[in-house]
Amino acid sequence: MPFDGFTTAAVVRSLCLELSDARVERVNAPTPDEIVLNMRTADRRSVKLCLSASSSIPKVNLTSAVKDNPMQASTLCMHLRKHLNSARFVSAVQPGFERVIKLGFDTTDELGYPRREYIYAEIMGKYSNVILTSEDGKIINCVKPVDFTTSSKRQVLPGLGYVMPPPQDKLDPTEVTAEIFSELCERHGDEDADGFFLKCFRGFSPLLSREAAYLAGASGRAVKDHGLALYKVFCMIMRRTRDGDFRPCIIYSGKKPLDFSVFEIGQYGDGAALKEFGSVSECIDSFYSEREQNERIRQRGGDILRIVTAAEAHIKKKIGNIEEDLLQCAEAESYRITADLITANLYRIEKGASEVTVENYYSENCEELTVALDPRITAAANAQKYYKKYNKLKTAKTELTKRREAADAELEYIRTVSDALSRSETEDDLEQIRQELYETGFASRMKEQKGKKPVKQRPMKFVTDGGYTVYVGRNNTQNDRLTMKEAGRFDWFFHVNDAPGSHVIMVVDGEEPPALDFTQAARLAAYYSSKRGGENVEVDYTQVKNVKKPAGSKPGFVIYSQNYSANVTPDPDEAARLRADRDK
């Protein structure tokens, strides 16, 4: 798990430095298992402290992410607003080097008497929790209540006293002496050094345990042969932790983030790339950003995801059935040939014959062909029967081909919806997709969408380094409006080649932008598409006057001509830097 004891220690140190004498201005709860404290520091800076108890993204950090909040606040959120509004941050500690952060706040009660309250943020995977307690340790409320039916060892319920999570059968590394370390080396002497720290000490993740063995030159070797070297590395890690000498970084394999650490990682050599950050909070934000977006979609857009998934499965099944029918239509020509051969040999076929052997003059070698006949009817009637089968399959092939093209168009459309869903940022984005699916007939059961006033939302706005404004559609409905109604004839249209993606419009007001601005707009088109994780992505671009929308086509579908193409690699950092509407 990336959020280990050392990451917790780094976060605690960061909070103590950044939030000294900060006051809580507002409490929000973007999701049921996440709390965001909007705070004002002593030097008048606005900061946001995120406390997430999500089973997939448990974390504590200062964040710059902008998130929508539900119209109705949760009970815990209301409790926190009641107890912590205007409260002053006084402390952050890490009890027992566990993945627990205890945050202290000074506030006043309803009568104006001073009191201190605490928030315990437990970062423990699916057991993560955020718990508000009084000064005497009584639980006021929590994100995830735990009763006897869930756990017989530790209950977390309002009114009960707070008890720390059961300790692991490991040692607190801050209390380990040279003698204790030596005893551990003897006890685990024959074991692999890569797992030594993970097995013996709290706070070590598998990544950091392997890194410690790597630094000691003991990777893949027995502990007993490298006891002194392992101890020196252990002392170095603990000294850096006490001194706050952290260097947060994310380890990448290509463009995919593998892991993060508050210490530089060297065990992968040239097999991975490191990106260092100025603060642990910035590192955590960057690492979890894509995962958080997917989690938000899963929670808030679950109904859309189910519709899109079911629709895609249904269309694929329909295409499979059509292909099977088309295979049967391939026999149509053989029926016509059979009918022709019967007609050419009417004089040879005796009445009541069940088959006839004829020369197949359609074949180069004119080999003999045995044809089955219905003995109850005449030879001429048999020929007409085969002609009828031929005509039926020929007509069916024409209709099936049309159905296949329509099904392919539906599948392409539903994939554009899926792509837009994967890039949704706000509740308004999801609501527009719901409305679009309802209007196109894919979500007819969403009765609440009938007569609903459409959500008014602008496309994403970017400004290139050359000062040109670039708009990016968030979904198919916006794509249509942006390209076909709002863009000027001589503005430039960008779209990823042969894949779902946003319509991107660069406003030029009749000017000819420099090559850099064209490249940045193309990279935005590649990033806001289904190929955002690829390299050398082909992007088409042309003037808007060359873009047409076929009559009756699905939302977002256009055709264009006289286009150019560019191969670019999507750059998420550049997209974030050029974004001009993030705080609007």
CA dist 281 and 59 (Å) reads: 10
Q: Would you tell me how many other CB atoms lie within 10 Å of the CB of residue 462?
A: 24
Is the same domain home to 21 and 123?
yes
Residue-wise pLDDT tens digits, 23-44: 999 999 888 889 999 999 988 8
- Of 85, 63, 61, which is closest to residue 73 (Cα–Cα)? 85
CATH no. for residue 35? 2.30.310.10
At residue 221, what is the residue type? R
Residue 157 lies in a domain: no
CA gap 388, 44 in Å, rounded: 86
Domain total for the chain? Answer: 4
Please answer whether residues 396 and 329 qualify as being in contact, where contact means their C-beta atoms are separated by less than 8 angstroms: yes
Q: Spell out the residues 6+ positions from residue 532 whose beta carbon is closer than 8 angstroms to its own.
A: 526, 570, 572
Q: At what angle do helices 206-215 and 227-243 cross, to 10 degrees?
A: 120
With cut-offs at 50, 70 and 90, classify the pLDDT of residue 131: very high
Q: What is the pLDDT of residues 525-571, one digit of tens each?
A: 999 999 988 889 999 999 999 999 999 888 999 999 999 999 999 99
What is the predicted pLDDT for the residue at 449? 54
Which residue would you say has higher pLDDT here, 436 or 103? 103
Same domain, 277 and 371: no
Q: Would 251 be classed as within a structural domain?
A: yes
Q: Is residue 429 in a domain?
A: no
CA distances, 322 to each of 311, 398, 415, 471 (Å): 16, 12, 20, 40
Q: If DSSP codes are grouped into helix, strand and coil, which group holds residue 91?
A: strand
3-state SS assignment for residue 425:
coil
* Res 582 pLDDT > 90: no
108 and 204 in one domain? no
Residue 520 sits in which domain range?
A: 460-578
Average of per-residue pLDDT values in the chain: 88
CB 300 within 8 Å of CB 430:
yes
Q: What is the pLDDT of residue 445?
A: 59
- pLDDT at residue 332 in the model: 81
pLDDT per position as a tens digit, 157-171: 999 999 999 888 899
Task: Looking at the structure, tell me whether residues 131 and 50 fall in a common domain.
Answer: yes
Q: Is 239 exposed, middle or buried (0-12, 13-18, 19+ CB in 10 A)?
A: exposed
At residue 51, the 3 state secondary structure works out as strand
The answer to whether residue 338 sits within a structural domain is: yes
Pair 216, 266 in one domain? yes
Among the listed residues 477, 476, 425, 454, the one whose alpha carbon sits nearest the alpha carbon of residue 581: 425
Query: Is the same domain home to 476 and 570?
Result: yes
Report pLDDT for 352.
84
Of 359, 383, 416, the residue at which a domain comes to its end is 416
Residues 250 and 322 reside in one and the same domain: no
Higher pLDDT among residues 350 and 248, named by residue: 248
Indicate whether 131 and 187 sit together in one domain: no
Q: What is the mean pLDDT of residues 464-488?
A: 93
Q: State which H helix or E strand residue 18 sits in.
A: helix 5-18
Q: Does residue 426 fall inside a structural domain?
A: no
Reference 431, options 472, 460, 474, 471; nearest CA is 474
Assigned domain for 448 exists: no
* Cα gap 153→163, rounded to integer Å: 10
For residue 404, tell me if it sits in a domain: yes
**CATH code where residue 179 lies:** 1.10.8
Query: What is the rounded distance in angstroms from the CA atom of residue 350 to the CA atom of residue 346?
Result: 8
pLDDT digits (tens, 9 = 90+) for 299-349: 667 788 888 888 889 999 999 998 888 888 878 888 888 888 888 888 888
484: which DSSP letter? I
Residue 56 and residue 104 in one domain: yes
Task: Look up residue 349 and give its DSSP letter.
Answer: P
Q: Going by C-beta distance under 8 Å and a sequence separation of 6 or more, which residues neighbour residue 242? A: none
**Mean pLDDT value of segment 76-100:** 91
- Same domain? For 269 and 323 the reply is no
Whole-angstrom Cα Rg for the chain: 34
Residues 473 and 573 in one domain: yes
DSSP three-state, residue 112: coil
Which of 21-30, 242-251, 417-426, 525-534 is predicted with the least confidence, judged by mean pLDDT? 417-426
Among 392, 416, 440, which residue terminates a domain?
Answer: 416
Helical axes 280-300 vs 5-18, angle rounded to 10°:
110
| 159 occurs within a structural domain | no
Residues 191 and 220 placed together within one structural domain of the fold:
yes
Domain end marker among 238, 272, 297: 297
Q: Confidence class of residue 583 from pLDDT cuts 50, 70 and 90?
A: very low
Q: Residue 1 and residue 55: Cα distance in Å, rounded?
A: 12
Q: What's 562's DSSP letter? A: S
Residues 440-454: what's their mean pLDDT? 64
